[in-house]
Amino acid sequence: MTYPVTRLRRLRKTETIRNLVRENRLSGDDLVMPLFVRSGSNVKKAISSMPGNYQLSVDLLVEKCSELEKMGVQAVLLFGIPEEKDETGEIACQEDGIVQQAIRALKKEIPNLYLIADVCNCEYTTHGHCGTIIDGDVDNDVTLNTLSKQSLSLARAGVDMVAPSDMMDGRVKHIRQSLDREGYHGIPIMSYAAKYSSAFYGPFREAAESAPQFGNRATYQMDPANSREAMREIEMDITEGADIVMVKPALSYLDIITRVKQNINVPVAAYNVSGEFSMVKAAAQKGWIDEKRLVSELLTSMKRAGADIIISYHTQEIIKDL
C-alpha cells in the first residue's frame, strides 16, 4: 500500500497519537551518573571543561548523592582522584583509597544507591597510562594483577559493581577469578568492552587528572575505524564472564551499539562521554542549540540504537524531566 492510501502523517497529527506510537522512551531507570571524588573535606573543585561537574570530597559527594537519589537517580559510577600517584597504580588498591572511602561513606548514608566503581590505573599512575609500563608500553599481564587487586579492595569496601575500563586482554577473567576466590560471586562486572581510542575523552582527562604524560592509548584502546574488532572484544569479555558490556564513546559509535545489541544477549551500556557532554554545553552557552531538546534527542538515540544502560553527565539535569 502506498500514497495516497498510506499517509504516514496520520500518526503524527497530535501529541497524543505521537505518544501512543512512540517506539523508544528514555527513563530515569536507564541512567547512571558519573562522579569524581577526591581527598579532603568540603572540597568542590569545578571541572572547567564540564560545566556543572565537580571533583568532590567524600563529605560533599555524600551530599550530592543523596540529592541525586531524591531526584530519582538509582546508580552512580565513581572515579577517584588520589592525593598521590605511583608507577603502577598500586595506590588504588589500598583499603583507605579515595574511592574505597567514598563507597564506605555512601553505603552508610545512602544504602540503596547502586554504586559502580571504575577500575583502572590511569588516575593513579604518575605517567597517566592505564597500566604498568615495561619497555615503553603498558604491559598487559602485569597490569592484570593491579586491576584485580583494585577490584578486590573495592569489593571489600562494599561496591555493588566493578567496571574495568583499561582494555587489557584477559582482565575480565582475571578480575572474575579474584572476586570469586574471595567470595564476591555476587558482584557483577560491567566491562568497557569496546572502548575506542577517542578524542572525545579530552575533558575527562581534566576531570580525572589522568592525561597520559607520553604517547597515547592506541596500543590498548580500539581504533575508531573498526567494527568487527569491537565484536571480538565483546565476545571475548562475555566468554571471560562480563555481565554487561559497554560501548564507549556513544554518539559516534551508535552503529556498534546496534551491532552488539543485535548479536549479543547481555545488557549493553553506552557511555555518553565527557567530550559529547562538553560539546552540548559549549553550544548551549553560545545559545546555538536548545539544550534540553538536544540532550533528550541524543540520549534517546542511544536507546534507539540498543543501549540498555546510558552513563551520562546529563543525568542530573535530564532526570527531572523524565
Straight-line distance from the first to the last Cα atom of the chain, in angstroms, rounded to the nearest whole number:
37
**Site for Zn ion (CB under 5 A): which residue of 78, 81, 91, 130?**
130
Question: Which range in 7-15, 103-111, 119-127, 144-152 contacts Zn ion by CB under 5 A?
Answer: 119-127
Any contact of residue 222 with Zn ion (CB under 5 A)? Answer: no
Any contact of residue 122 with Zn ion (CB under 5 A)? Answer: yes
In terms of Cβ atoms closer than 10 Å to its own Cβ (0-12, 13-18, 19+), residue 251 is: middle
Q: Tell me the closest approach of the beta carbon of residue 8 to Zn ion, in angstroms.
A: 46
Residue of closest CB approach to Zn ion: 122
Q: Tell me the closest approach of the beta carbon of residue 228 to Zn ion, in angstroms.
A: 24
H runs (alpha helix) in 38-127: 58-71, 98-109
Strand locations in 256-295, DSSP E?
268-272
Reduced to 3 states (helix: H, G, I; strand: E, B; else coil), residue 261 is helix
Any contact of residue 117 with Zn ion (CB under 5 A)? Answer: no
Q: Tell me the closest approach of the beta carbon of residue 220 to Zn ion, in angstroms.
A: 9
In sequence order, which residues have a C-beta less than 8 Å from that of residue 75 and are 6 or more positions away?
A: 31, 32, 33, 113, 114, 115, 116
Question: Which range in 74-82, 114-122, 229-237, 303-311 contacts Zn ion by CB under 5 A?
Answer: 114-122
Q: Tell me the closest approach of the beta carbon of residue 76 to Zn ion, in angstroms.
A: 19
Nearer to Zn ion, 140 or 316 (CB): 140
**Site for Zn ion (CB under 5 A): which residue of 37, 58, 113, 120?**
120
> Which residue of the set 149, 195, 281, 303 is catalytic?
195
In angstroms, the Cα distances linking 80 to 99, 156, 306 are: 5, 16, 29
Q: Tell me the closest approach of the beta carbon of residue 118 to Zn ion, in angstroms.
A: 8
Specify whether the CB–CB gap between 317 and 275 falls below 8 A.
Answer: no
In angstroms, the Cα distances linking 258 to 37, 87, 221, 255, 262 are: 33, 38, 20, 5, 6
Question: Which range in 69-77, 88-96, 110-118, 128-136 contacts Zn ion by CB under 5 A?
Answer: 128-136
- 248 catalytic per annotation: yes
How far does Cα 176 stand from its chain's mean position?
19
Specify whether the CB–CB gap between 246 and 274 falls below 8 A.
Answer: no
Nearer to Zn ion, 274 or 316 (CB): 274
Size of the site for Zn ion (CB under 5 A): 3
User: Which residues sit at the interface with Zn ion, rule CB under 5 A?
Assistant: 120, 122, 130
Active site positions, annotated: 195, 248
